[in-house]
Amino acid sequence: MHKGPLLVARNATRRYGFRTIVRGVDLSVSAGDVVVLMGPNGAGKTTLLKMLAGLMQPNEGSIERHGSIYAVMHETHLYETLTAVENLVFAARLKGSVDRPGIHRLLQLVGLTTWQDNRVMTYSRGMKQRLSIARALLHDPDVLLLDEPLSSLDEEGCSLVLGLLSGSDGKTRAAVVVTHQIDRLLSSSSSVGFLVGGSLHGPLPVDGMTVADVNRRYRELLTNA
Amino acid sequence: MRDVLRVAWAIAAKDVRIEMRTRTALLSSVVFAILVLAILYVARDPTAVSALEIAPAALWVTFSFAGLINLNRAFAIERENDAMSGILMTFPNITGIFLGKLAANLIFVGTIQLVAFPLFVLFYDVPVLTNLPLLAVVTVLATIGMVSVGTLLSSIVVQTRFAELMLPVLLLPFMVPPVVGAVQLTSRILANRPLSELMGGFKLLAAFDLVFVVMPILIFSATFDR
């Protein structure tokens, strides 16, 4: 794994037409970092994640990537007509080799073995989210980008995501997590950033910070915006 | 190159699997092909127009428009759940993605042609069997050209609101050169003209293919809003 930061954004700016969605973001993420990003709707969080993932290029500034990156977004990147196994086999084929026992282990990890041969269109939103996470883990990314990872998950699913962020699977990866559920994620994160009006404030180290502190800071920024 | 071909194969196999499961585009195209062949056959006045005169046009109108229906779906399946982003994050090789889509589309359009051709023979009773190899070469050459441009344009229009309307508007002008060439060649083949008379047409179709396959590969990456 790369020794320095795995992901570095310098003055990253993205515009849609005349509207600036993400404004001069500077961010550096190294292995083991879990950066939580908070922000109101339309603040540019998803756009920033897409830029970090390489799915969008910044209009200004730059983003350096020194490792593999995979983003679990609101859109699941899955094919509804295929089964869970077929979706993962397809992703594995793109990557290079199909490790069927490995795919089975991943499905077991996300708790989908019972439904692995059912088409994704029959899944609930939470099950799709789990499969989307399995697809991300299939790539064993150095940096995991998560957009509202807990929003559709039940308690077991939330524990799975929180476990992954804590490195419970033995992998020291970096993560950038966009969330509104800071109370669930604060204990797993190393720093918290606030994206307001496209500008990133922070990230601030979490050391000793409570959920109340984070929410207070967030409210101050929203009030001053 | 090996990686590019591996990705192309993975994408083509996935598209074929999805289409075989839903059969949406394939069935619509086959039904459309049967209808066009039947309507053109019934509309012809056999005392005024011989089957040989109308057959090449009927064949290529059927192949072109039935293929068009199928091309619309090429990138629509990637739009659902933003599946294309998943591919790009896994293997960001644009050429592999294009070749995979092209291969899948060629399989779909080829399948429609395989179903429509026997019906064409049945309806028009033209000397096909003796000219089958030459007709196959014309069909392959013309199909590669129009499907390749169709695949490129499909990736562009899928990002627009009226994708299904936009594809024919954009694609039909590009389809004119290969389809006109194919109609002329088919007409000459069915009239049992000597091979020397056909070579110019074959070379022209091959040249179109070269341009229509290389050009989309070169500009395909520009169709992604990144």
Model confidence over B7-20: pLDDT tens digits?
999 999 999 999 89
DSSP B130: G
Partners of residue A65 on adjacent β-strands = A7
Token pair, residue A201, equals: 């404030």
Helices B51-71/B94-124 angle, 10° precision: 150
Residue A69 backbone dihedrals phi, psi, to 5 degrees: -130, 140
Closest-approach residue (CA) in chain A for B5: A94
Cα–Cα–Cα angle for A106, A84, A114, rounded to 5 degrees: 75
User: In this model, does residue B110 exceed pLDDT 90?
Assistant: yes
Chain A contact probe: residue of B3, B5, B7, B14 with most A CBs at under 10 A = B14
The pTM of this model reads 0.88
Please give the pLDDT value at position B195: 85
CB B196 within 8 A of CB B74: no
User: In this model, does residue B142 exceed pLDDT 90?
Assistant: yes
- Quick check: helix, strand or coil at residue A61? strand
What is the DSSP pairing of strand A7-16 with strand A60-65?
antiparallel
Q: Which of B129, B173, B153, B139 is nearest to B223 (CA)?
A: B153
Please give the pLDDT value at position B226: 59
| Integer Cα distance of B215 and B209 in angstroms | 10
| A123 part of contact set with chain B, CB < 8 Å | no
pLDDT, average across residues B65-92: 85
- Quick check: helix, strand or coil at residue B47? coil
| Integer Cα distance of B174 and B194 in angstroms | 29
**pLDDT 10s digits, B203-218:** 999 999 999 888 888 8
Chain B contact probe: residue of A14, A55, A65, A97 with most B CBs at under 10 A = A55
Token pair, residue B225, equals: 């809003």
Q: Which of A125, A128, A126, A130 is nearest to A110 (CA)?
A: A130
pLDDT, average across residues B118-133: 86
Interface A-B, measured as beta-carbon pairs within 8 A, has a size of 74
pLDDT, average across residues B78-106: 88
Residue A139: list chain B partners with CB under 8 A: 89-90
Residue B91: list chain A partners with CB under 8 A: 94-95
B221–chain A nearest CA distance, Å: 12
B83 and A79: CB-CB below 8 Å?
yes
Helices A100-109/A125-138 angle, 10° precision: 140
Chain A contact probe: residue of B89, B97, B225 with most A CBs at under 10 A = B89
- Quick check: helix, strand or coil at residue A4? coil
Percentage of chain B lying above the pLDDT 70 cut: 99
Residue A91: list chain B partners with CB under 8 A: 86, 90
Identity of the residue in A73, A82, A95 whose CB atom sits nearest the CB atom of B90: A95
Kindly list the distances between the CA atom of residue A172 and the CA atoms of A158, B13, B43, in Å, as whole numbers in the listed order.
19, 34, 71
Closest-approach residue (CA) in chain A for B12: A90
Q: Which residues neighbour A129 within 8 Å (Cβ) at sequence distance 6 or greater?
A: A72, A76, A149, A151, A152, A153, A157
| A55 part of contact set with chain B, CB < 8 Å | yes
A91 and B90: CB-CB below 8 Å?
yes
Q: Which residues neighbour A104 within 8 Å (Cβ) at sequence distance 6 or greater?
A: A113, A116
- Quick check: helix, strand or coil at residue B226? coil
CB atoms within 10 A of CB A146: 26
User: In this model, does residue B224 exceed pLDDT 80?
Assistant: no
Token pair, residue A194, equals: 């606030």
- Quick check: helix, strand or coil at residue A35? strand
Kindly list the distances between the CA atom of residue A181 and the CA atoms of A144, A192, A198, in Å, as whole numbers in the listed order.
18, 12, 20
Residue A93: list chain B partners with CB under 8 A: 6-7, 9-10, 13
Partners of residue A37 on adjacent β-strands = A178, A193
A187–chain B nearest CA distance, Å: 29
| Integer Cα distance of B176 and B179 in angstroms | 5
CB A71 within 8 A of CB A80: no
- pLDDT truncated to tens, each residue of chain A (225 aa)? 667 888 999 999 999 888 889 988 899 998 888 899 988 888 889 999 999 998 888 999 999 988 888 999 888 899 999 999 999 999 999 888 888 898 998 898 888 888 989 999 999 998 999 999 999 888 888 898 999 888 888 888 788 878 777 777 777 788 899 988 888 888 888 899 998 888 888 788 888 888 888 888 888 888 876
Partners of residue A146 on adjacent β-strands = A72, A177
Identity of the residue in A77, A82, A93 whose CB atom sits nearest the CB atom of B86: A77
B123 — pLDDT class (breaks 50, 70, 90)? confident
Please give the pLDDT value at position A82: 94
Identity of the residue in B3, B22, B86 whose CB atom sits nearest the CB atom of A91: B86
A62–chain B nearest CA distance, Å: 13
A166–chain B nearest CA distance, Å: 23
What would the DSSP string read from start to end of B144-161? HHHHHHHHHHHHHHTTST
- Quick check: helix, strand or coil at residue A31? coil
Chain A contact probe: residue of B5, B81, B159 with most A CBs at under 10 A = B81
B225 — pLDDT class (breaks 50, 70, 90)? low
State chain B's mean pLDDT as an integer: 87
Closest-approach residue (CA) in chain B for A120: B81
Closest-approach residue (CA) in chain A for B13: A90
pLDDT, average across residues B114-143: 89
Percentage of chain B lying above the pLDDT 90 cut: 30
Please give the pLDDT value at position A52: 92
Token pair, residue B10, equals: 């993975």
| Integer Cα distance of A166 and A169 in angstroms | 8
Please give the pLDDT value at position A2: 64
Please give the pLDDT value at position B136: 93
| Integer Cα distance of A53 and A16 in angstroms | 18
Read off the amino acid at residue A209: M
CB atoms within 10 A of CB A177: 26
Which A residues, 77 through 116, put their C-beta within 8 Å of a C-beta on chain B? 77-82, 86, 90-91, 93-96
What is the DSSP pairing of strand A34-38 with strand A174-178?
parallel
Please give the pLDDT value at position B148: 92
Kindly list the distances between the CA atom of residue A107 and the CA atoms of A62, A122, B156, B221, in Å, as whole numbers in the listed order.
36, 16, 35, 33
Residue A76: list chain B partners with CB under 8 A: 81
| A216 part of contact set with chain B, CB < 8 Å | no
Please give the pLDDT value at position A109: 85
pLDDT, average across residues B175-179: 89
Greatest alpha-carbon span in chain A: 53
Q: Which residues neighbour A155 within 8 Å (Cβ) at sequence distance 6 or greater?
A: none
